[in-house]
Amino acid sequence: MSAPLLEVEDLVREYRLPRSRLFGPRGVVRALDGVSFRLAAGKSLGIVGESGSGKSTLARAVMALEPPGEGAVRFLGRDLSALPPGELLRARRDFQMVFQDPYGSLDPRQKVGRIVAEPLTALAELGAEERRQRVGEVLASVGLRASDAGKYPHEFSGGQRQRIAIARALVTRPKLVVADEPVSALDVSVQAQVLNLLQDLQAQYGIALLLISHDLAVVDHAADEVAVMFQGRIVEQGAPAELFRAAAHPYTRALLEAVPRLVPRKGRRRSPPERNDAPAGGCAYAGRCPAAQERCRREVPLLRGLSGSRRAACHFAEAVMSEPSPAAEVGEIMP
C-alpha cells in the first residue's frame, strides 16, 4: 500500500497556562492528546467537536504552523517538523489553509491579485506574466472575475471574501487544503454557495480536504469521513452515514441530539446540567456521560476498531451503537 497523503501519528500538544497565583505552579492543558489519522489523496476528512476540543490546534499542527510536542505529521511520507525551513517553505505549496474569518484573513491594504498570488512567491520559477495568468485562472475557478484582482478586499461581501481566501489556497495547486470553520462566519444562503464550491473544486482537482467545523450538518455534507474530537482526543471516527446512523460514542450521540431540528422532537428532552467532573485516570467524558460506569472512571478507553473503518474510544461502544439513533428520529421536511 502506498503512503497516504497525510499521516498524523500520536500527536501531542501541550500549552502552559498562566499561573493562577504569583508563586503557584503553572498548569498544563493538553490540547492534543495522542491524535492519529490518515488522509488519502483526494479524500475529505471532517473534524467536529466543541470549542476547546483541540480541532484548531490540530489544523495548525497539520499546517506545520506550530511544532508538535510529540508525535509526527507526515505529508507524502516526510515528517514536516524534521524539514529544514527552506525545504518546508517549498513543501507548503502542497498544503494550504482557509481560515474562518474572511475579514481578518485578508490584508485590507493589498489588492486581491496580490493577496491571491502571495503563496506563489515561494515558487521562484514562475514569471510575472505566468503568475498573473495563474491568478486569473484561480479567480475564475472560484466564481470571481479576473478583473477582481485589481480590487481591495473591502469591495467584496463576506461570501466573496471567502472565495478569495479559497482562491489563495488553491493558487499553488495544492494536494491538501485545510479549512478551519470556512463557512461558520457566513450567512446560510452564502454558506451553501461556498460549500458547493468546495465540493466542486475537490471533485475537479482531486484535492484532499481537512474540514474543521462545529456544525455536524456541514461536515456530513462535505466529508467522506468524520472524526469527532473531545478534549484533545479523537473519540469516534467513521463514514458520516454510519456514524450518524449508529453513533458508537455517547459524546457523538450528545452532539446529534443537540442539533436543532425543523420538526421538534415530541416531548422535549431537557438537557442535562453542565458538569465536567472528569475523573483523573479515566475517560475524559465520564463526568458528562449518562451511561458512565465504574470502569469508565478507572480506565481510559482507547480508540479501537469496530466494524470496517469505524473506530471509537468507549468501553461500551458496541452497546452504545445498538441503541436507537438520535439522528434516525429526524423527520425533516422539504418544500
Partner 1 sequence: MALLEVENLEVRLKTVRGMAAAVRGASFALERGERLGLVGESGSGKSMTALALLGLLPEGAELAGSIRFEGQELVGLAESELCRLRGDRIGMVFQEPMTALNPLHTVGRQVAEPLRLHRGLSNPAAHEAAVALLDRVGLPDAERRAHAYPHQLSGGQRQRVVIAMALACAPDLLIADEPTTALDVTLQRQILDRLAELSEESGMALLLISHDLGVIAENTRRMLVMYGGSIVESGPTAAVLQRLAHPYSQGLLGARPRLGAGRGNRLATIPGSAPELAEIPSGCPFAERCRLAIDACRAAPPPPEPVGPGHVARCIRLDAAGVRP
- Residue numbers 31-90 binding partner 1 by CB under 8 A: 50-52
**268 lines the binding site for partner 1 (CB under 8 A):** yes
Nearer CB in complex with partner 1: 120/284? 284
User: What is the three-class DSSP state of 228?
Assistant: strand
Nearer CB in complex with partner 1: 41/192? 192
Nearer CB in complex with partner 1: 39/190? 190
Window contacting partner 1 (CB under 8 A); options: 5-13, 27-35, 110-118, 238-246: 238-246
User: What is the three-class DSSP state of 87?
Assistant: helix
In this structure, the number of other CB atoms found within 10 A of the CB of residue 103 comes to: 13
Q: Binding partner 1 by CB under 8 A: which of 16, 154, 266, 270? A: 270
d(CA 192, CA 273): 34
Q: Binding partner 1 by CB under 8 A: which of 241, 295, 304, 323? A: 241
Find all residues with CB under 8 Å of 244, minimum gap 6, and list them. 216, 220, 256, 325, 327
- Measured N-to-C along each axis, helices 188-205 and 158-170 cross at an angle, to the nearest 10 degrees, of 20
- Residue numbers 208-237 binding partner 1 by CB under 8 A: 214-218, 220-224
Total chain residues near partner 1 (CB under 8 A): 53
**Residue pointed to by grid coordinates 489523496:** 41
Window contacting partner 1 (CB under 8 A); options: 82-90, 95-103, 130-138, 264-272: 264-272
Q: Binding partner 1 by CB under 8 A: which of 271, 281, 294, 308? A: 271
In this structure, the number of other CB atoms found within 10 A of the CB of residue 85 comes to: 7
Nearer CB in complex with partner 1: 204/271? 271
Nearer CB in complex with partner 1: 30/131? 30
CA 149 to each of CA 115, 126, 155: distance values in angstroms, whole numbers, following the listed order = 9, 18, 11
In the complex, minimum distance from the CB of residue 298 to partner 1, in angstroms, rounded to a whole number: 24
Nearer CB in complex with partner 1: 36/199? 199
Contact 47, 211 (CB under 8 A): yes
List the Cα angle 67/37/41 in 5-degree steps. 100
Contact 150, 111 (CB under 8 A): yes
- Residues forming the site for partner 1 (CB under 8 A): 50-52, 157-160, 187-193, 195-196, 199, 214-218, 220-224, 240-241, 244, 254-264, 268, 270-271, 273-275, 327, 330, 332-335
